[in-house]
Amino acid sequence: MQFEVFTLLPEVFPSYLETSIIKRARERGLIHVRVHNIRDYTHDKHHMTDDTPYGGGGGMVMKPEPIFEAIETVLGLNAEPTQPKPESNIPIIMLTPQGRVFNQSIAQELSQHEHIVLICGRYEGIDERIREHLVTDEISIGDYVLTGGELPALILIDAISRFLPDVLGDPTGAQDDSHAMGLLEYPHYTRPPEFRGWKIPEVLLSGAHAKIDKWRREQALLRTFKKRPDMLEKAELTKEDKKFLERLKSEVKSEK
């Protein structure tokens, strides 16, 4: 999988990309990340990438020419100036708080592509023609505003890469994650079995795999019920799950 990142702050990326699982995935050729400086595609003396907004008002707006040129050059799309969106099935994603809100299923969907473009916005905004004639998708990482799209781009690269074969040491890793099954993950414990008097749940020492699976499923349901009840509406639930949840609900009612 190849990521092409377009940014005005390329120096933000190396430290994260050269660490841990993402570093190993890059070294093993499972993912490739190329970071392109939008400023390299300016032709004026001051290398301007932004300008004041038409109609007045505060802030600066990212200019269209350098971003179009950068992406068309890197993707080898030589669009005529009058031609709308260059023909390509590569997603050209703008990171913006106006986009659809990123989640695990969007990460999985994007992991099916071999090539993805990520544009990191800065300043107050971007010229609307970039959105209309270049970008094919807009993604937000949540309902808050950051100073730019660099952290969101890293978040997408990380979450998408985890779905690619062999990126995680444990091949079932991505399937068991919180959110993967539409539920939060069950609690984990490791040695020692007792720490400051706090013991791990007995069942985990039993060696009875069916019992452990049942306990984990119920814990995942319990956690989701307590912390993210909204997720239960979309989760795939078995008859047993539904029964367990009914019991939880009636327990809560009787506590009130």
- Binding positions for ligand ADE, rule: CB under 6 A: 95-97, 121, 140-142, 144-146, 148-149, 152
Least Cβ distance, residue 40 to ligand ADE (angstroms) = 22
Distance CA 173, CA 187 (A): 15
Least Cβ distance, residue 152 to ligand ADE (angstroms) = 4
E strand spans, 107-236: 115-120, 125-126, 137-140, 194-195, 198-199
Run of H or E residues at 74:
helix 64-75
Q: Which of 39, 184, 200, 57 is nearest to 122 (CA)?
A: 39
Catalytic, 97? Answer yes
Catalytic, 44? Answer no
Closer residue to ligand ADE, CB minimum distance, 36 or 215: 36
Task: Give the strand order in the sheet containing 61-62.
Answer: 50-51, 61-62, 125-126
Closer residue to ligand ADE, CB minimum distance, 151 or 203: 151
Closer residue to ligand ADE, CB minimum distance, 146 or 237: 146
Instruction: Sort residue 199 into left (φ over 0), alpha (ψ -120 to 50) or beta.
Output: beta
Contacts of residue 2, defined as CB under 8 A and 6 or more positions apart, other chains included, come to 31, 32, 33, 34, 114, 115, 116
Closer residue to ligand ADE, CB minimum distance, 37 or 96: 96
Least Cβ distance, residue 181 to ligand ADE (angstroms) = 25
Least Cβ distance, residue 10 to ligand ADE (angstroms) = 17
**Of residues 177, 185, 218, 241, which has the active-site annotation?**
177
**Of residues 124, 132, 176, 240, which has the active-site annotation?**
124
Catalytic, 230? Answer no
Catalytic, 162? Answer yes
Contacts of residue 37, defined as CB under 8 A and 6 or more positions apart, other chains included, come to 7, 8, 10
Strand partners, 158: none
**Of residues 97, 131, 223, 228, which has the active-site annotation?**
97
Residues with catalytic function: 97, 124, 162, 177
